[in-house]
Amino acid sequence: MNKIDTILAIRLGDEYYGIDSDNISQVLRVPAITPIPLTADSLNGVVVLNGKIIPVIDMKQVLDIGKVQINSQESRIITIHVNSEEIAILVDEVIDAVNVDDKNYEENTADDNFIIGFYKHEENLIQIVEPKEIIADDIVETFAPAEIELLADDRDKQELSSVNTNRYLFFKANSEFFAVDIELVAELIFVPNEITAIAGMNKASLGAITLREEVIEVFDFNMLFGFERVDLSLPTARILILRDEGKKLAFCVEYVEEIKDIDTSKIESSSVDEENRIEALYKDTNNIVSIVSKMFVKELIDKYSVAQDEKSHAIEDGSEDMRELAVFGIGQEEFAFDIENVQEIITYQEVTPVPDSNEFIKGVINLRGAIIAVVDLPKKLGFESQITDKSKIIVCTWEGEKVGFLVDDVNDIMFIEEQFVAYSKSHDSLTKATISLENGKRVILELRIDKIVDIEELQNIKKEDV
């Protein structure tokens, strides 16, 4: 064993422990910690430090002596290296750096013990710990998937395959429903704090925003259609980034409803709009939806888009340096699915319970003839589950099967540059990647669908009466 010259003395509960100072990178006040669902109790979450995403381990939980109160004035995190990985450990208090006097140090010769020695300092006995002996197995945890009963058979799939559909993003303007072809939608973002006015701009224009060094003009959708201006302070207001042939423009709308496929046979051509802003009408169960003309959108983009640079073309062309994610909220945290797995996003609708199903299964819905199981994702991830007017169901496709995930709200559909993504090294982890944005102030956890649901169960269970 290497000689220990200095230890950092820490307090956990009423006991004192020490860590070899050679293993310590820094000691900090406890920053904002993003929790990771369904992990070991000792894994408190992740933090962003110096541009790195680092897991935080609660040492009291590791030692089974309680839990560190992160809001305490005395609590601290200590960053150390374990098996070549940097992690942070959470402690009740950092006491002091102590120079080790050999005459007061006694090595612990017991095998398989994380206590490697004892040191008498003033009136206290400090137990010196080797973190890698007790932490390594807690950094990445394998998640037990929920078993789901899928009530669908081949007949449903055959019926669906004969239906021609087109996908649209639905939103509200002046309490009326509109939809735009999803092919025109590049991403969906919150209204930024700053929109810069443009000299001589169109009366419906709000100005320009900068998105990843790209200048995009934003139009008030309500003003384009003769309604009152969108209230930008509304928490539901969103910016739709629209694209066509490498050019971009944005609509500001007051509320995004959902993304879903529409049976094209139920779309009726419209000639009521003399300015050709509306190309068709769609009648669903409760509403008449005006479908915005693709030609109208493309002409706006062509006329008002700001010239694109090479980086913008890389995004349009699907550069490997970008990821597109559907970002959603649960509680105060943000999660995401890869947009490639998302079929549509719908407002919450009544779910039919399935008897004797897993506790995380909310039930099933009938979506245009397909029976789809709905996972209560907040409950699955350990959050409080509640239905509000913002609740959404994200319908995903995985290995040929469809499954819905109940979430509190859908926040964004956005491109993420790979430089902001840190991938999990374990394929057994629920978290596929951690995304750090806004200098670490916004942390998003990308989830693996196959660690939430049991795909084999989806494929094997036959249709039942509901």
What pLDDT, in 10s, does the model give residues 313-330?
444 444 456 788 999 999
Q: What are the phi and psi torsion angles at 293 (to 5°)? A: -65, 130
pLDDT of residue 271: 64
Residue 70 within a domain: yes
pLDDT of residue 238: 92
pLDDT of residue 145: 36
Report the range out of 54-58, 198-202, 224-228, 369-373 with the highest average pLDDT: 224-228
Residue 465 within a domain: no
| pLDDT confidence band for 149 (50 / 70 / 90) | very low
The verdict on 69 and 134 lying in the same domain is yes
**Which structure tokens are listed for 365?**
């819905």
Tell me the β-bridge partners of 7. Answer: 20, 98
| pLDDT value at 460 more than 70 | no
For residues 457 and 147, the answer to whether their CB atoms sit within 8 Å is: yes
What is 422-449 written as a DSSP string? EE-S-TT-SEEEEEEETTTTEEEEEEPG
Where among 301, 316, 331 does a domain terminate? Answer: 316
| pLDDT value at 462 more than 50 | no
| pLDDT value at 265 more than 70 | yes
pLDDT of residue 394: 94
The verdict on 311 and 343 lying in the same domain is no
CA dihedral 276, 316, 449, 426 (to 10 degrees): -170
The verdict on 350 and 410 lying in the same domain is yes
Residue 146 within a domain: no
Which tops the pLDDT comparison, 139 or 331? 331
Where among 316, 338, 370 does a domain terminate? Answer: 316
Give the count of alpha carbons within 13 A of 338, CB side only: 13
Q: What is the mean pLDDT of residues 43-61?
A: 84
The verdict on 325 and 347 lying in the same domain is yes
Number of domains forming the structure of the chain: 3
pLDDT of residue 335: 95
Q: Quick: pLDDT tens for 152-199.
A: 444 444 444 456 888 899 999 998 999 999 999 988 888 988 898 887
Per DSSP, helices labelled H in 305-454 are 310-316, 377-380
What is 180-224 written as a DSSP string? EEGGGEEEEEEPPS--B--TT--TTEEEEEEETTEEEEEEEHHHH
Q: Quick: pLDDT tens for 332-381.
A: 899 999 998 998 899 898 888 877 777 888 888 888 778 888 999 999 88
pLDDT of residue 252: 95
Least confident of 3-7, 41-45, 457-461: 457-461
- Is the CA virtual torsion 455, 459, 461, 465 positive or negative? positive
| pLDDT value at 296 more than 90 | yes
The verdict on 406 and 327 lying in the same domain is yes
Which tops the pLDDT comparison, 400 or 272? 400
pLDDT of residue 148: 41
Measured in whole angstroms, the distance separating CA 227 from the mean position of its chain's CA atoms is: 34
The verdict on 293 and 375 lying in the same domain is no
| pLDDT value at 303 more than 80 | yes
In the chain, DSSP finds a helix count (H) and a strand count (E) of: 8, 33
Which tops the pLDDT comparison, 41 or 104? 104
Residues ≥6 apart with Cβ < 8 Å to 328: 334, 335, 336, 337, 392, 394, 407, 408, 409, 410, 411
The verdict on 171 and 312 lying in the same domain is yes
Range of the domain at 380: 154-159+321-460
pLDDT of residue 317: 46
pLDDT of residue 156: 47
**Which structure tokens are listed for 325?**
């994610």
pLDDT of residue 455: 66
Least confident of 41-50, 76-85, 153-162: 153-162
pLDDT of residue 159: 46
| pLDDT value at 121 more than 80 | yes
The verdict on 73 and 106 lying in the same domain is yes
Nearest to 296 by CA among 361, 225, 232: 225
Write out the H or E segment, with its range, that includes residue 137: helix 132-139
Percent of the chain with pLDDT over 70: 86
AA identity, residue 25: S
Where among 316, 345, 372 does a domain terminate? Answer: 316
Strand order in the sheet with 442-447: 205-211, 214-220, 247-253, 238-244, 185-190, 409-417, 322-330, 333-338, 442-447, 431-437, 421-423
Q: What is the mean pLDDT of residues 301-309?
A: 76
- Write the CATH number for 132: 2.40.50.180
**Which structure tokens are listed for 255?**
């509320």
Q: What is the mean pLDDT of residues 290-296?
A: 93
| pLDDT value at 407 more than 70 | yes
Q: How far apart (Å, rounded) are the C-alpha atoms in residues 11 and 58? A: 12
